[in-house]
Structure 1
Amino acid sequence: MQCPLSFEVMTDPVMNAAGQTYERAAIEKWFARGKRTDPMSGAVLEHTDTRLVPNVLVRGM
């Protein structure tokens, strides 16, 4: 599955607070730039990189 931020195949997919899945490095880079929103929906997130959850279903694809 392709990451919507990096457009690369995900090897370490994680879900953020909005339930969207991204490659860990790509979403961590997003947060490191000071962004506190979900890149896809624009929703303000309650928390950022401290609570990224591995998406084992996507990793298995």
Structure 2
Amino acid sequence: MAEDKEHQFWYNMHTGGVEQGFQSPSVDRVGPFATYEEATHALEKLRENSAKWAEEDAAENR
């Protein structure tokens, strides 16, 4: 079943708010997230992913 991204939740990096659907320009949005709650923790998830990717890159370059 394909996900309907227009009805999922997005974190707006410009306003700091959560939106459902494509309410703001794509450059301001992060997502999609399945739930409102997940979208509220978008910045935490981005930080976790960045740290994980940095560790993986460092391990590859050793």
More strand by share: 2
Q: TM-score, structure 2 length as denominator?
A: 0.31
Normalising by the residue count of structure 1, what TM-score does the alignment of the two structures yield? Answer: 0.31
